[in-house]
Amino acid sequence: MARQEKKKDVVIVGLGWTGAIAGIELAQDGLEIVALERGPDQSTVPNFKYPNQIDELKYGVRLKMMQKLSQQTVTVRRNEDETARPYRKLGSFLPGNGVGGAGTHWNGLNWRPMPEELKLKSYVIENWGEDIIAEDMTIGDYPVSYDELEPYFTQFEKVAGISGYAGNLNGEIREGGNPFEGWRSEDFPMPPLPRTWDSQKFHDACIASGYHPFPAPAGIASTAYVNPYGMQMGPCNFCGFCERYGCYQYSKSSPQTTILDALKRKPNFSYRTHCEVLRVEMAEDGKTATGVTYFDEEAQEEVFQPADLVILSSYQLNNVHLMLVSGIGEPYDPATGKGVTGKNYAYQMNGGISMFFEDDNFNPFVGHGANGTCIDDFAINQIDFGEEGFIGGAYWRSGTFNGQPIRNMPLPKGTPAWGAGWKEGIGRWYGHAMSIGSHGSNLAYANNYLDLDPNYTDRHGRPLMRMTFDWHDNDLRMNQFMKSKMEPLAKSMNPDIMQVGFKGPGAHYDVRPYQTTHNTGGHIMSETPQEGVVNRYCQAWDKHNVFVMGAGNFVQNTQYNPTGLLGGLAYWTVQAIRTQYLPNPRPLV
Amino acid sequence: MLPFPGRLMFNPLAGHLPMTDIPGLPSRRSFLKGSAAGVALSALATSASAEKAEAPVSLEDYKREFLNDAEWAFVMAATARLIPSEGDGPGAIEARVPVFIDRQLAGDYGSAEDWYMEGPHDASASPQLGWQTPLTPAEVYRQAIPAFDAWCSKTHGDVFAGLEASQQDEALTALQNGDVELQPEVRDFFSILLANTKEGYFADPMYGGNHGMQSWVYIGFPGARAAFREWPERHNIRYPLGPVSISGERA
């Protein structure tokens, strides 16, 4: 029999970006709120402090800030003929752990989606007709538009403290910004950060080729900054330890630097760590949730936390898992196309070119996670899908980050992997290489999905979630298109040596190398309950007091890093809860 | 001389270096050519980095935490070929990589503490599905080393550590290329060994390898300095300062 806690108005599952946003916004309405966090508590001091955090082995390689797969993981297969095997050791994606979640260890790239990406299906049909959408492609429109979300993107960017330069300010295209982006009602909260040498070379080559370079939108403070919650950030010193690390100097945008200390001062908010939520409990009528049951690590027992409102704000994979084990939404069945929970799991399609310049010094350790110059000349709204034979796009970026030698030692092809030749190679090439990355879309397909695994369980006896995912030709063609455009640009920079890395036809998903922690979909937004798990306010169609945050809401992935979109959606959702749901709790659609 | 030899470790913003002070620094590479060629551990131990540190115990006297005698002999011999001493920069032995590997295998990496290790296991699954052996990294070393030594004895007439350097290189190449028949449970041994060797070469010295930060000095990585506020726009100028470690050593 589970212990029962005192009832709360709101229970928040997972205290990362979106849980912190839900907490601080709903706390303003005087609600009694508790957040439950699976991992440990963590703050800038003492957890991220200098010099202890500057430890590539511990955090960069042994991944000590990440979810422990011994505690929670998924199984993976590429198709239904393969037996899914557990993701035993972290590789391809790195869900976070503890207070702050993935928001503590991200790179800080904070993009908005393109307006066209939020109505992708209509955009494709209007311009090229339905025939170019492959039969197994399950793309759709988001049930909310860019114009509706714009104020919430702006709000998130102000809270998170984003540095950049608007390319489209209320419809006015400004030189030096991204001319292809959706409109912004205001410029970035902070100006862009300075350019490193690789970024400058890329910038100049792009100008010479007629492209439109602009500074990457960075969740990295370029100046001293105070956000709307009174949280203070200090300018980044390019220490180079962003991705996989907590920021030691209050420069990287994170729940810690921008929300949590303000939130912890609210008397009606509390949080409990080492509390892993096992399931959402349902009322007998099946229309609402009554709270959540969690495992209290310290007491080693299950606890029931009753609440009137349940916010699922854990990582995308965990949100979907909780919904599958709790019976929120009908599980998706790829054979019939019916069911919704687990549908439209998507990822990211990336590639890039490394260039070696023996006489250039790039100081690769001088950088930050969102460093660099970008172009969107090959973005989703710049490509003729009919002509090119694929649907999708990518942004490109060049700028030093993660220049730490265990993980970042690009060497020209043909350099031995060990022995005297390797040692000679690292002495010769470390610091003399730069790269351009292509960060591209991954669309939704009928046979890329999430369900419960029949063979493996977690320590609580719950089935692991099973990921069925592989690359599709459409996205591989997109990637090959990027290769064909990037090679001439890279050549124009006259490197001594260059090498090209883009997945091509026949490539299969490999869980070993790190790719991105941009796992999306599985509890997607939709116009109708037949198409998705949540409505346009991220409210569960079948359990009206359950709201779900995060990238699991994405109908298909965009070409960008997900944080800007999921941050905007979180503010959009919280506003709907505050203005529409609390006065009259009911299905909002 | 560097303008601030007494830089405080705990004030990262103190790393400011005026542009005018950059030229005229001795090339670290030429320094290493002089000191590291052909060498002896002791030569490196007396470099600037170790001024205040006591000389470490020799690798022969090092008290092991995980590896047994045969395993230690193998790891010493294998890492010495994976990152040899000859040429510029330290080798794995000078960097004390075997100490790093021994300690890692004795710790939570060796026991796969953070990984999902529940069965059923299919060690023969597609390599693209990642770690599927039931063995932990420490167990992989424990089972793979005797198997590889047996192969070396059969093929070359002695265990790996007893072979000539050129034979060792041939044997490692065979291992790398999958030409040494190993059980699927240990099929990734070479890539694990190589990854651990490079980790030990480049990790902070507190983990037992990268002795004296000489691997960082060799490639020009400044370690835990982590303060480069004035550097992003110093385009195409090589960062001149040597590394610091987490415990405050300088080199």
**CB < 8 Å from A in window 167-226 of B:** 169, 172, 176, 194, 197-199, 202-204, 207, 215-216, 218-224, 226
Q: Which residues contact A267 (CB under 8 A, 6 or more apart)?
A: none
For residue A133, what are its two tokens? 């959408």
Condensed to tens digits (0 to 9), the pLDDT of residues B106-164 reads 999 999 999 999 999 999 999 999 999 999 999 999 999 999 999 999 999 999 999 99
Q: What 8-state DSSP symbol labels residue A296?
A: E
Give chain A positions within 8 Å (CB) of B128. Answer: 78, 508-512
Q: Is the pLDDT reported for residue B49 higher than 90?
A: no
Distance from CA of B58 to the nearest CA of A (A): 23
The answer to whether residue B125 neighbours chain A at the CB level (below 8 Å) is yes
Q: Which residue of A has its CA nearest to B123?
A: A85
Kindly list the residues from chain A whose CB atom is less than 8 angstroms away from the CB atom of residue B248. Answer: 51
- In this predicted structure, the answer to whether residue B28 has a pLDDT above a threshold of 80 is no
Q: Evaluate whether residue A432 is within a structural domain.
A: yes
Longest CA–CA separation in chain B, Å: 63
Confirm or reject contact between B5 and chain A (CB < 8 A).
no
Which CATH number is A570's domain given?
3.50.50.60
CA dist A430 to A399, A457, B94, Å?
15, 44, 20
Is the pLDDT assigned to residue B19 strictly greater than 50?
no
B197 assigned to some structural domain? yes
Band (pLDDT 50/70/90 cuts) for residue B55 is confident
Average pLDDT, chain B: 85
Is residue A417 less than 8 Å (CB to CB) from chain B?
Answer: yes
- What is the distance between the alpha carbons of residues A397 and A376, in angstroms, rounded to a whole number? 9
Kindly tell me the burial class for residue B166, based on how many C-beta atoms sit within 10 Å of its own C-beta (0-12, 13-18, 19 or more): exposed
Alpha-carbon distance of A51 to A271, in angstroms, equals 28
Cis peptide before B120 (omega within 30 of 0): yes
Q: Give the one of A88, A241, A366 whose C-beta lies nearest to B132's C-beta.
A: A88
Residue A91, number of CB atoms within 10 A of its CB = 16
| pLDDT one-digit tens code per residue, A511-534 | 999 999 999 999 999 999 999 999
Q: What angle do CA B2, B8, B13 make, to 5 degrees?
A: 90
Q: Considering A212, A321, A432, A518, which one is annotated as catalytic?
A: A518
| Residues whose CB is less than 8 angstroms from the CB of residue A115 and which lie 6 or more positions away in sequence, other chains included | A145, A146, A147, A182, A381
In a domain, A586, yes or no: no
Q: Is residue B33 part of a domain?
A: no
Phi, psi angle pair for B142, to nearest 5°:
-60, -35
Q: Is residue B165 part of a domain?
A: yes
| Separation CA A386–CA A566 (nearest Å) | 30
Cis omega (within 30 of 0) on the bond before B18? no
Contacts of A403 in chain B (CB under 8 A): 221
CB A374 within 8 A of CB A248: no
Residues A267-298 have pLDDT tens digits of 999 999 999 999 999 999 889 999 999 999 99
Tallying the residues shown for chain B, one arrives at 251
Supply the pLDDT for residue A2. 85
Q: Check if B8 contacts A (Cβ < 8 Å).
A: no
Residue B11 lies in a domain: no
Structure token digits, residue A15? 């205290």
pLDDT at B32: 35
Subunit contact B218:A426, Cβ cutoff 8 A: yes
Q: Name residues 244-303 of chain A within 8 A of B (Cβ).
A: 248-249
Whose structure tokens read 């059923």? Answer: B120
Taking each helix axis from N to C terminus, what angle separates A563-576 and A146-160, rounded to the nearest 10 degrees?
110
Range of the domain at B141: 58-117+126-217
Strands (E) across A18-171 are located at 33-36, 74-77, 85-86, 168-169
How many angstroms separate the CA atoms of A515 and A477, rounded? 18
pTM reported for the whole predicted model: 0.93
* Across A340-361, average pLDDT: 98
Residue contact B224–A54, C-beta within 8 A: yes
pLDDT digits (tens, 9 = 90+) for A538-549: 999 999 999 999
pLDDT number for residue B53: 52
The total number of residues shown for chain A amounts to 589
Q: What is the ipTM of this complex?
A: 0.97
d(CA A293, CA A281): 7
Nearest-Cα distance to chain A for B23, in Å, is 15
Domain for residue B207, yes or no?
yes
CB contact under 8 A, A363 and B228: yes
Distance from CA of A246 to the nearest CA of B (A): 13
A358 interfaces chain B, CB cutoff of 8 Å: no
B95: Cβ contacts below 8 Å, ≥ 6 apart: B83, B200, B201, B209, B210, B211, B214, B215
Taking Cα atoms as reference points, which of A84, A108, A104 lies closest to residue A42?
A: A104
Verify whether the Cβ–Cβ distance A70 to B113 is below 8 Å: yes
Q: Is residue B14 part of a domain?
A: no
Q: Look at residue A99 and tell me if it is in a domain.
A: yes
Split at pLDDT 50, 70, 90, the class of A507 is very high
Per-residue pLDDT, B54: 63
The answer to whether residue A588 sits within a structural domain is: no
Domain residue limits at A505 = 3-581
Give the range among A192-196, A340-344, B29-33, B170-174 with minimum mean pLDDT. B29-33
Closest in A68, A406, A424 to B198, CB measured: A406
Q: Which pLDDT band holds residue B44 (cuts at 50, 70, 90)? A: very low
Asked whether A422 and A416 are in contact (CB, 8 A), the reply is yes
The residue in chain B having the minimum alpha-carbon distance to the alpha carbon of residue A84 is B129
**The pLDDT of residue A473 is above 60:** yes
| Rounded mean pLDDT, B226-243 | 97
Residue range A470-499: mean pLDDT, rounded: 98
Q: Which of B12, B236, B95 is nearest to A360 (CA)?
A: B236
Mean pLDDT of chain A: 98
**What sign results for the dihedral spanned by CA atoms A191, A193, A194, A197?**
negative
Give the tens place of pLDDT for each residue, A399-420: 999 999 999 999 999 999 999 9
pLDDT tens, position by position, A31-84: 999 999 999 999 999 999 999 999 999 999 999 999 999 999 999 999 999 999
Q: Which pLDDT score, from 0 to 100, does residue B41 have?
A: 40
Q: Name A226's bridge partners.
A: A232
Q: Total domain count for chain B?
A: 1
Least confident piece of the model among A87-91, A408-412, B7-11, B80-84: B7-11
The number of distinct structural domains making up chain A is: 1
Active site residue A518: yes
B139 occurs within a structural domain:
yes
**A430 band by pLDDT with thresholds 50, 70 and 90:** very high
DSSP string for residues in A53-86? T--IIIIIIS-TTBPPTTTS-EEEESSTTSPPEE
Residue A462 counted as domain residue: yes
What pLDDT, on a 0 to 100 scale, did the predictor assign at position B13?
36
d(CA A543, CA A288): 5
